[in-house]
Structure 1
Amino acid sequence: MAASAALLTLAATAACSTDPTPPTDRTRSTVSSATKTGTGDVRTDLDPLIKRFDALGRPVSATWMSGTLGGDAPGPSTYWIDAVVKVTPETAATLRATSPEPTTETPAVEDGVRSALPSGQLLRSTALDALFAQGSFRAKAYLAADSDTVVLVALGQ
């Protein structure tokens, strides 16, 4: 019993601790208790997004960032991508056909992408998410209700 209490106290202390490393040029935020790390570069090139997410069709423009989860430990990495993508009206119509519903959720994107988030109502559905499950990548997908804009919060290997 005392050992269980000690473990619970240790777990609670660890959960409340903060990263003592001051942010530099690297992105640092938390996703499900894992830290997003990256260069902090905001990108606008489309090819890496097109290669990973066929459901984007031929996007018009994008603002996105990426990196890995966790520290710099050796071994397999989990990659993250936060993206705000302007798609064609035809692609948006295809995405709307998944019947996404209004959500009050705000996408958990990095600061460099946050300023590109569309204003107004966002829509979500598991069917919409499924369109962005490709290869090892899975995404939480949001569609702007009044524009042809998609927001992706994606993880993959």
Structure 2
Amino acid sequence: MSRVSAVSTASLTLLSELMNYDFSVHDLDEPVTDELVEKSTGIRGLVQNMRAHIGGTVRIRDLAGHRATLLQGPRFVGTATQVADQMEEWFTTDACDGFVLAATHLPGAFEDFVRLVVPELQRRGLHRKQYAGTTLREHLGLARPPTAPRLPTGPAHV
């Protein structure tokens, strides 16, 4: 029986992406310890929420199984204006520094968000209309790291 038989590969992959940690190297019945959480650089609140919900030991199987649901955070629902209002409130009151979107239906959820909500956020100055540069580094305002000196080319001399 596969280690991922009861938990879909997609759920484990999504969990690994959100936590920025490769959970596939662990057994699904292994407990999620504080040390394991500290190794991740992603959304650590998922573990805290699961611990509060389960009330005991959280195993990787539990976390991956529940990750695929929309129970982990707030749900912004309504018209494009209402969703933008809710997002603006969270963002401007420092309740968050960004959002992770989950599709409520496929196909079309992300397309609806981009077509309806993003223009409203742009009108409010909360979402960019264009990018600052041509690379991700430029968009984020990060300096280019120094490059290593190049080695001479040509035939090697021994």
Q: Which has the higher helix share?
A: 2
TM range (shorter): under 0.3
Q: Which has the higher strand share?
A: 1
Flag the structure with more relative contact order, 1 or 2, with Cα contacts below 8 A and sequence separation at least 6. Answer: 1
Scaled by the length of structure 2, the TM-score of the pair is 0.20
